[in-house]
Structure 1
Amino acid sequence: MDKIIEKKRFNKKTILTIAGVVLFVALVAYGYNLSLSKVYKADADKVTVSKVIYGDFEDVVLLNASVVPLTSVIVSSPEGGTVAEIFTENGASVEKGTPLLRIANPNALSSYTSSETSITEQINQLRKLRLDLEQNQRVMSQDMMEIENSLRTATRKYKIDSTLYSKKVITQQEFNISSQDYEYYEGRKKILKEAVKQENQSRVMQLQQIDFSITRMNESLETIRQNIENMTIKAPVAGRLSSYDPVIGKSYGANEMLGKIDVLQGYKLQAGVDEYYVNRVKEGQSANCEFNGKTYQLTVKKVIPEVTAGQFQVELTFEKDAPEGLRRGLSMQVKLTLSDNSKSLLLAQGQFFQSTGGSWAFVVKEGKATKRTIKIGRKNYLYYEVLEGLQKGEEVITSSYDQFNQYDIIEIDK
C-alpha cells in the first residue's frame, strides 16, 4: 500500500528566496538611510570656519568710485552727416565757441539753400505788396485833395451865385448849375471819405499781417542760416574735451553725441553699488574717503536705481572743496554709511552666501558640520548681521559650498 508523504510548508528554496528578499529590503533601507544623511569629508585647509561674535555692526558699504567732473556738457550735431574737417583733438582745453569739427551733409545743405531762396522770394513779394498798399494810400490821398479843392471852388461859386440869383443878376439856369456842382462835389467827398476810412482800416490789418509774416520768415531764414552754420560744431562751454574720437568720413546721426566737455569747476565721485542695497541707498546719506592721507566727507547727491550687470549707480559730492590733485578717472575707495551702528551677532562674510542666500549654513561642532536654518539681515564689507539660528561662539563654514552643497554632514579632517 502506498504511503502519503506530507509536503513541507517551507522548503529550502522558499527559505532562500525569503532570505534574499529580506536582505534586498535591508540593503535598500540602508541605502535610503545613507541618502538621507549624506556625508562629505573635507580637508580642514580647504574650508574656512568663522566664529559668531557679538559686537558693533557698522552699517556701511565700501564702494570703488571714479573721479568725474562736477559738470559735463555733451557735444552733438543738430544735423547728421559725415566728418569733413577736424579742428581739435581729444583732451584739448577749449573756450566757448571754439570750432571742433565740420559736418558735411549735401542733401541737408541743398534743402536749406532751396528753402532760403523760397523764403527770400516770399519776403520780396510781401514787401512789394506793402509798397502797393502805401502807393494806393497816396493815390487816395491825392484824390481826396482834388475833391476838397473842387468842393471849395464849387462852394465859393454856389455862395456867390446864391447872392446874385437873389438879386436877379443871374438866371435860374445859371444858379442851378452852381448848385448842382456844389452838391456833386460834396457827395463825392462823403463817398471818398468813407472809402478812405475803410481802406485805412483794411490797410492797417494787411500791414500788420505782412509785418508778422515777414518777421516769421526772417526767423525761419535765421534758423536755416544757423543750421548751415551749425555744421561747424563749436564748443558750447569752456572746458576740457573728452570722449572725443572723430575720424574723417565717419558718419553721425542727428543729435548723436560727438564728445563731452568737462567744465573745470570741481569734481564728484561716481560708483556702482551692488543691487542688494538698491532699497537702502538714498540721496543725502553720508560717506567718506581718503586721499593723500586725509579724510574727506561726501554726500550722496544722486541715485540712479536702474540695475545693470548687478549694480546701480550713485553720484557723491564733496561737502567742502574737493581735494587738490584730483584728476578725471582716478579710483577711490568710499565708505558709505547706511545707518547708525548697532549691537548684533556678527558672522564674517564668505562665499557660502552665494550658495544658500543666507537661509542656512553648515554649523561646526566637534569636527562635524551639519545644516542649520538661519536668518541673515544686513551686511557690510566685513560681516553679516545674524538675526536667527546662531549663537555667540558657534562656528560656521563660511567658504564656498559648491563642492558639498548637496550633502547634509561635513566631516572636517584635520
Structure 2
Amino acid sequence: MIRDTSAQDRLVEVKPNRKRLIMIGGGVAVLAVLALVLPQASRLFSADASVSTSRLAFGVVERGLFVRDIAAEGKVVAAVSPTLYATSGGAVTLKVHAGDSVKKDQVLATIVSPELTNKLAQEQSAADAMEVDYKRAQIDARKKRGELQKALDNAQIDQKSAESDLVRYQKAFAQGAVPSRDVDKAKDTLQKAQITTRHATTDLGMDGDSQNFDIESKKLAHDRQVLLVKDLLRQVDDLNVRSPVDGQVGQLFIAERATVAKDAQLLSVIDLSALVVEMKVPESFARDLGIGMGGEITGNGNTWKGLVSAISPEVVNGEVAARLRFDGETPKQLRQNQRLSVRILLDKRDNVLMVQRGSFVDESGGSYAYLVRDGIAEKHPIRVGANSIDKVEILDGLKEGDRIVTSGTDSFKNAARVAISR
C-alpha cells in the first residue's frame, strides 16, 4: 500500500498584509478629506480675499418696531448763571461765601473806589453852582424886565400927558389965547413921547427874548450836569455788587480784600429755579433734533419729562450741544453739574425692515453691504433709511433673514467677494 503525504501536511496561518491595509485606509481618509475640503477650496479660489470671522461682526435683517431715539448722559446746568464784574477799579470786600443762598438785590460784595466817589463830589458841587447860576439868571431876568416895563409905563404916561397938552393948546389957540408956536411945540413933545413909547415897547420885547435864551441856556447846562451826577450816583451805587436773581453763590474769582481793575470777574450766581440738562449729541443725529421735541430725564430714581429748548449751531469734536428744560416745575433736589440720563424720542414706526447698526453704514455711505452666503461675503447694493442708536432701516436690497457683515468690512479692501474663514 502506498502511503500519501497527508501525514506530512501542516496547517499554515496566513497573516494579513498590514502595510496594504494601512495604505487602503489612508486612501479612504484622503478621499474623505478631499470630499470635505474641495467645496471650500473652490469657494476660496473664487473669492478675491479671505478674512477670519473673528475680525468681523454680523447682523441678521429682521422686521419689527423701529425706534429712533438719542440716549446720552447729560449734566445739570443753570439756564441763568450770571457772572458779576467790577464796575470800577478798587478794593473788594466780599459779603458772601461760595455756596451761600442769596436773594435778588442782596449785596454780595462792595468796592471801595476813592476816585469815583471824589469825582461824584466834584460834579455834585458843579451841579449846585450851575443851579445857583440858573436861579440868578431868572432873578436878573425878572429884574431887567421890571426896569424895562417901568420905562415903558413912564413913556406911556408922558405920551398921554403930551396928548392932553396938545389938546389944551389947540383949544387955547382957537380962542386966541396962545400963539401957534406953543401948539407946534406941543405937537413935537407928543411926537417925541410916542417915539419913546415905541422904543420902550421894542426894548421890552427884545430883552425878554434875550433873557429867556440866557435862562434856557443855563437851565440846559444845569440839566446836563444833573444827568452826569445821576450817572455817577448810579456808578457809585453799583460799587455795591448785588445779586440779579434768587439763587446760590457759585464760584468766587477773587480773594477777600483784593484790589481789582474795572471789568474784573468777581463771582457767579446760580439760579437754581431755572435748571436745564445739557447733553452732547453726535453730529449725525443733531440734524434730526428740533426745538420743542419731547424727551425723558432720569436720575435719583425718578423720571421727568423734558423739552428740547436749545441746540448749539456749532459742532465741537463731532458733537453738538443740546439743552432740555423740564416740562413743568423744576425738581428741587437737583444740583449744578449733577449727572443724569437723557433720552430723546425722534421717531417710532412698526413693521420696518432693519438690521443691527454697524460701521458698514459709515464705510459704504449706506450704498452697499456684504451679504453672507455659504461662507462667502458678496458685495451687494442696498439703500438705507433712518438710523437709530443700534438699528438702521433697510429700504431696498435686502430681505428679512439675510445675514450681512455689519463691522470689519474695512479689511475687505472693497473686494466684490470675500471668503469668511474660521
Q: Classify the TM-score, shorter chain.
A: 0.7 to 0.9
Cα distance in 2 for residues equivalent to 1:98 and 1:144: 60
1:301 aligns with 2:309: yes
1:52 aligns with 2:61: yes
Of residues 361-370 and 76-85 in structure 1, the stretch that sits farther from structure 2 once superposed is: 76-85
Q: 1:257 to 1:87 in 2, by over 3 A?
A: same
Q: CA deviation at 1:395?
A: 2.2
Residue 253 of structure 2 aligns to which amino acid in structure 1? D
1:246 to 232, 242, 254: 254
Residue 74 of structure 2 aligns to which amino acid in structure 1? A
Equivalent residue for 1:68? 77
Q: 1:63 to 1:90 in 2, by over 3 A?
A: same
The aligned runs of 1:25-174 (5 Å cut-off) are: 37-43=48-54, 47-69=56-78, 71-77=79-85, 79=87, 81=89, 84-102=92-110, 109=115, 117=122, 121=126, 124=129, 128=133, 131-132=136-137, 134-149=139-154, 151-152=156-157, 155-156=160-161, 159=164, 162-163=167-168, 166-167=171-172
Equivalent residue for 1:275? 283
Cα distance in 2 for residues equivalent to 1:82 and 1:366: 82
Equivalent residue for 2:232? 224
Q: 1:338 to 1:78 in 2, by over 3 A?
A: same
Cα distance in 2 for residues equivalent to 1:337 and 1:189: 95
Partner SS for 1:58: strand
Residue 406 of structure 1 aligns to which amino acid in structure 2? K
Cα distance in 2 for residues equivalent to 1:382 and 1:205: 83
Partner SS for 2:271: strand
1:187 aligns with 2:184: no
Residue 139 of structure 1 aligns to which amino acid in structure 2? K
1:235 aligns with 2:243: yes
Cα distance in 2 for residues equivalent to 1:78 and 1:368: 72
Partner SS for 1:90: coil
Cα distance in 2 for residues equivalent to 1:324 and 1:204: 65
Cα distance per residue 1:68-126 (max 9 Å; x no partner): 33x415234374657643332232222223333355788xx47x966984796487357
Of residues 353-362 and 335-344 in structure 1, the stretch that sits farther from structure 2 once superposed is: 353-362
1:284 aligns with 2:274: no
Of residues 213-222 and 171-180 in structure 1, the stretch that sits farther from structure 2 once superposed is: 171-180
Cα distance in 2 for residues equivalent to 1:330 and 1:146: 88
Cα distance in 2 for residues equivalent to 1:115 and 1:250: 21
Cα distance in 1 for residues equivalent to 2:88 and 2:391: 53
Q: CA deviation at 1:57?
A: 0.8
Cα distance per residue 1:137-157 (max 9 Å; x no partner): 412322422442464266347
Cα distance in 2 for residues equivalent to 1:193 and 1:165: 29
Q: 1:339 to 1:212 in 2, by over 3 A?
A: farther
Cα distance per residue 1:279-300 (max 9 Å; x no partner): 2111122222344555433222
Q: CA deviation at 1:61?
A: 1.7
Cα distance in 1 for residues equivalent to 2:198 and 2:147: 15
Q: Give TM-score scaled by structure 1 length.
A: 0.73
1:397 to 401, 405, 412: 405
Contact 2:130 2:221 in 1 (8 A): no
Cα distance in 1 for residues equivalent to 2:291 and 2:205: 69
Cα distance in 2 for residues equivalent to 1:342 and 1:224: 68
Residue 80 of structure 2 aligns to which amino acid in structure 1? S
Equivalent residue for 2:355? 347
Cα distance in 1 for residues equivalent to 2:90 and 2:147: 62
Q: 1:245 to 1:90 in 2, by over 3 A?
A: farther
Q: 1:277 to 1:141 in 2, by over 3 A?
A: same
Contact 1:75 1:236 in 2 (8 A): no
Cα distance in 1 for residues equivalent to 2:112 and 2:400: 73
1:366 aligns with 2:377: no
Task: Extract unaligned runs of 5+ from structure 1.
Answer: 1-32
Cα distance in 2 for residues equivalent to 1:325 and 1:225: 41
1:332 to 335, 340, 357: 340
Cα distance in 2 for residues equivalent to 1:135 and 1:383: 92
Q: CA deviation at 1:162?
A: 4.6
Equivalent residue for 2:413? 406
Equivalent residue for 2:273? 265
- % identical equivalent positions: 16
Contact 1:61 1:336 in 2 (8 A): yes
Residue 304 of structure 2 aligns to which amino acid in structure 1? Y
Q: 1:96 to 1:184 in 2, by over 3 A?
A: farther
Q: Give TM-score scaled by structure 2 length.
A: 0.72
Cα distance in 1 for residues equivalent to 2:142 and 2:119: 35
Cα distance per residue 1:37-77 (max 9 Å; x no partner): 2322343xx543222211111122213222233x4152343
Cα distance in 2 for residues equivalent to 1:209 and 1:96: 42
What is the aligned-residue RMSD (CA, Å)?
Answer: 3.9
